[in-house]
Structure 1
Amino acid sequence: MSDRGDEGKDLARRELVSLEVEVVSSADPTLAGMKGIVVDETKNTFKIRSASGDKVVPKKITVFRFTLPSGKKVMLAGRALCLRPEDRLAG
């Protein structure tokens, strides 16, 4: 598993919708451990589809672990992603 490193920087500049994600930690304890697929993104939130349905998760207070298509896992603080997706991708 990768920590952050260069892959974390690259992850902040790529499309995140459709990636597998896990909430590693959050200021909202009800979110910790949640796993699913990113199905939508706004400046401040991800919508994650899990076995129990869709949940909107705030980026700013959450640490995520994304699984890349290669299978590598990258952990990233959500506050690093608090931009409109189109602005973050243009980065």
Structure 2
Amino acid sequence: MITPQNLIRHELVGLEAKIIRSSNGDLEGIKGKVVNETKKTITIEDGEGNEKIIPKGSTTFHFTLPEGVTVEIDGKIIVSRPEDRIKKRFRKYW
């Protein structure tokens, strides 16, 4: 089960995401469903079917879990391949 405490060790594809802060001001406010994730980017599909590729390292995200809980994650924490994040040790950020 995905919780705020283990979100960074989980698959992000399928979660609702919103860009809170970004070094690129044009990206702020983008929200939608995560459809793909690579080492350095997250692809978000908005409600109209448009896909936006967002760099992880310079962005702060709000992810909405299936239970409706919203979690804020600094993209620098999740810059790695999704399959490598489950093995990685993290300091507590919450």
In structure 2, what is the Cα distance between the partners aligned to 1:65 and 1:49?
15
Q: TM-score, normalised by structure 1?
A: 0.88
1:1-91 aligned at under 5 Å gives the runs 7=4, 9-52=5-48, 53-91=50-88
In structure 2, what is the Cα distance between the partners aligned to 1:47 and 1:76?
16
Higher RCO, 1 vs 2 (CA within 8 Å, ≥6 residues apart)? 1
In structure 2, what is the Cα distance between the partners aligned to 1:38 and 1:15?
10
1:49: Cα distance to partner?
Answer: 0.2
Q: TM-score, normalised by structure 2?
A: 0.85
1:68 counterpart letter in structure 2: L
Structure 1, unaligned stretches of length 5 or more? 1-5
What is the Cα-based RMSD across aligned positions, in Å?
Answer: 1.4
Mapped contact 1:15–1:89 kept (Cα < 8 A): no
SS of match in other structure, 1:12: helix
SS of match in other structure, 2:76: helix
In structure 2, what is the Cα distance between the partners aligned to 1:77 and 1:64?
6
